[in-house]
């Protein structure tokens, strides 16, 4: 039996695609476990446990700020310790391959793999390959990209475009009506608004005003707004008696995206892949301080299809957001072509690339 370790660091954008690949590997009878780093690692390990997947938790290691050079010796010591622990972990586990999903926190494990000659594979979710993945590519057998890379010349190993793995729950054909919209009707268009793990504050603040503009233009739209915040009383009050659901988050994202007429959200790679899968018309507002402006680059790629429309955060107000949503509402489904930017069956493709090479 082949054994795979999937290394995920930091955000859900690294973790959930990695979990999807691990679950697909498990379904194929492969031995698989997760290597998790970051503050969210304990909670992520609990999620993995529900799918009968074991996890190894490691310290979240980040590069020291250039403004604080006195921290470099401490960083170097911690990096060395993490590297030694990673080597010990690999000797115990004896994997056939390790798949890295991104984040600098996985670099000590990557270097340990290189020194022990364990085959390394890298999956990149974004259109712009991140620094950690670019660095590890010098040791990798293959670089697996979700979409064609904008900076492919920086990658030091062969590249294959395989797509972004999507949670199996989202791939179900008959998604039932989500419980949180049980009080909304099935006739009027549904707008879904969310900010993702990288921040929703700017969208949360402006959307009640944009919604008011749409209603004033006689659009009978309904709204689900996922704020990422625990306290939504003030926001709810601003909507009054309108057909609106405001909550922190939802476990029924697939069904919500599937039922939405238009989505308004950030431009994270996982979100874009899910929106492509459901062929849902979307207004993207890239997170302006995302590392190396990668959300802006993701949005530019997605906008090759008329299914996506991009707004810069610096230009959003109630009218620009309302106009963008209205433009998407007017778009005819048959005029949209998501196939040009779609790479389905990504988890299967990832495993095929790994286990036909090792």
Q: DSSP for 29-61, please give it.
A: T-EEEEEEESTTHHHHHHHHHHTT-EEEEE---
Q: Which of 294, 297, 254, 293 is nearest to 276 (CA)?
A: 254
How many CB atoms within 10 Å of residue 22? 26
**Model confidence pLDDT, tens digit, residues 227-243:** 988 888 888 889 988 99
This model's pTM is above 0.95: no
Rounded Cα–Cα distance for residues 24 and 26 (Å): 5
Q: Is the dihedral of CA 219, 318, 308, 240 positive or negative?
A: negative
Instruction: Give 294's pLDDT tier (boundaries 50, 70, 90).
Output: very high
Exposure of 83 in the CB half-sphere (CA atoms within 13 A): 14
Between residues 197 and 138, which one has the greater pLDDT? Answer: 138
**Burial readout 167-184 (b: 16 or more C-beta within 10 A, e: otherwise):** beebeeeebeebebbeeb
Name the superfamily (CATH) of residues 171-341: Glycogen Phosphorylase B; (3.40.50.2000)
Question: Does the pLDDT at position 88 exceed 60?
Answer: yes
Q: Which of 269, 274, 272, 237 is nearest to 253 (CA)?
A: 274
Which residues, in sequence order, are bridge partners of residue 7?
A: 35, 100
Write down the pLDDT at residue 255. 93
At 263, give phi and psi (nearest 5°): -110, 140
Rounded to the nearest 10°, the torsion over CA 291, 257, 337, 185 is -140
Question: Does the pLDDT at position 198 exceed 60?
Answer: no
Between residues 10 and 42, which one has the greater pLDDT? Answer: 42
Name the superfamily (CATH) of residues 3-164+343-355: Glycogen Phosphorylase B; (3.40.50.2000)
Q: Where in the chain is the domain with CATH 3.40.50.2000?
A: 3-164+343-355, 171-341
């Amino acid at each position: 039996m082949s054994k795979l370790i999937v290394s995920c660091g930091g955000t859900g954008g690294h973790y959930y695609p990695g979990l999807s690949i691990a679950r697909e590997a498990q379904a194929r009878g492969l031995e698989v476990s997760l290597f998790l780093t970051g503050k969210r690692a304990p909670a992520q390990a609990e999620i993995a446990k529900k799918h009968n997947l074991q996890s190894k938790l490691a310290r979240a290691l980040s590069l020291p700020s250039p403004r604080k050079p006195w921290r470099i010796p401490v960083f170097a010591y911690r990096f060395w310790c993490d590297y030694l622990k990673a080597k010990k972990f690999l000797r115990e586990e004896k994997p056939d391959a390790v798949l890295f999903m991104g984040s600098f926190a996985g670099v000590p494990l990557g270097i340990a793999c290189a020194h022990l000659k364990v085959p390394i594979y890298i999956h990149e979710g974004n259109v712009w390959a991140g620094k950690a993945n670019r660095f590890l590519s010098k040791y990798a057998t293959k670089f697996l990209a979700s979409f064609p890379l904008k900076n492919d010349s920086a990658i030091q190993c062969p590249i294959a475009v395989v797509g972004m793995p999507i949670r199996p729950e989202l791939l179900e054909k008959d998604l039932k009506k989500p419980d949180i919209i049980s009080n909304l009707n099935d006739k009027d268009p549904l707008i879904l608004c969310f900010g993702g793990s990288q921040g929703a504050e700017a969208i949360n603040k402006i959307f009640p005003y944009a919604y008011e503009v749409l209603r004033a233009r006689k659009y009978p739209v309904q709204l689900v707004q996922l704020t990422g915040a625990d306290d939504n009383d003030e926001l709810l009050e601003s909507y009054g008696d309108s057909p609106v659901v405001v909550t922190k988050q939802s476990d029924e994202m697939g069904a919500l995206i599937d039922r939405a007429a238009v989505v308004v959200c950030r431009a994270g790679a996982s979100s874009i892949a899910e929106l492509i899968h459901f062929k849902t018309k979307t207004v993207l507002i890239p997170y302006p301080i995302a590392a190396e402006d990668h959300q802006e680059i993701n949005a530019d790629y997605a906008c090759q299809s008329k299914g996506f429309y991009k707004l810069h955060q610096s230009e959003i107000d109630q009218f620009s957001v309302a106009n963008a949503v209205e433009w998407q509402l007017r778009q005819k489904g048959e005029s949209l072509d998501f196939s040009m930017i779609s790479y389905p069956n990504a988890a299967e493709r990832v495993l095929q690339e790994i286990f036909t090479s090792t």
